[in-house]
Amino acid sequence: MSSFTPDSPLVTEVVPSPNHGERRQVRAPDMLILHYTGMPDSQAALQRLCEAAAQVSAHYFVFEDGRIVQCVAESRRAWHAGLARWGTATDINSHSIGIEIANPGHCYGYPDFPPQQIAAVIALCRDILARHAVPPHHVLAHSDVAPARKEDPGEKFPWPALHAAGIGLWVAPAPLDLPGSAIKPGEAGPTVERLQAALRRYGYGLEPTATYDAQTAAVVKAFQRHFRPARVDGTADPSTRRTLADLLAARGLDSEV
């Protein structure tokens, strides 16, 4: 594997991965996708990203102690998102820069992200955003672009801290005890269709069917993990819907939910 000059001065080491290619019909990245590694050993996770047989990679890897490794040049298409969608984009790998954050994930106890790691992620994101035109609503979780398959970086990831540093879009989540009725899996009708349309308007890959099916529940869970993490249950309660409406309004979009 040939080495390359790191794109960021924050990189402590380049560990090249062979798993990359040309960006397809995209001149420059316009999304930033954050992942957790989901493996109990961070060094093994980095090694996997650099094994040809694994067919996966990411541009950056952030260890628990804040060390930043670059595996793929930003000009190249890393293989981190898999089958994914955001808005009209279906080749998320071509559109994005991917950051893997060392954390065992939900299957291995899901510990908190250490402060020094989050500080490094924030610094790296700010550095990337200084070079690339990534709008705030395109700073996303892996679970946002692949809600039926992924749940990383999960509800413990501190999105408000990133937003306070000028990274991503965030509004204060509406209170859990907001009055009103919930829209639940299995329901059908116009209220479900409005919910689906609102999630799609924000960017989630969801077709309005007027039926609260498994795909809708997965998208609601992904939304909750990112924007209303106090309760992740796939039910569109008033708190979830108000938070979604506030995010749509923050983008200047129709906020009907």
36 and 26 in contact (C-beta within 8 Å)? no
Radius of gyration (Cα) for the chain, nearest Å?
18
Distance of alpha carbon 247 from alpha carbon 50, whole angstroms: 37
Structure tokens at 252: 């200047």
Sheet holding 68-70, edge to edge: 13-14, 68-70, 60-62, 96-101, 31-36, 139-141
What backbone torsions phi and psi does residue 233 show, to the nearest 5 degrees?
-135, 0
Active-site annotation holds for 100: yes
Q: Which residue from 141, 136, 129 is spatially nearest to 204, judged by alpha carbons?
A: 141
Q: Which of 74, 100, 151, 155 is catalytic?
A: 100
DSSP-assigned letters across all residues of 14-29: E---S-EE--SS-SS-
SS3 (DSSP) at 250: helix
Q: List active site positions.
A: 100
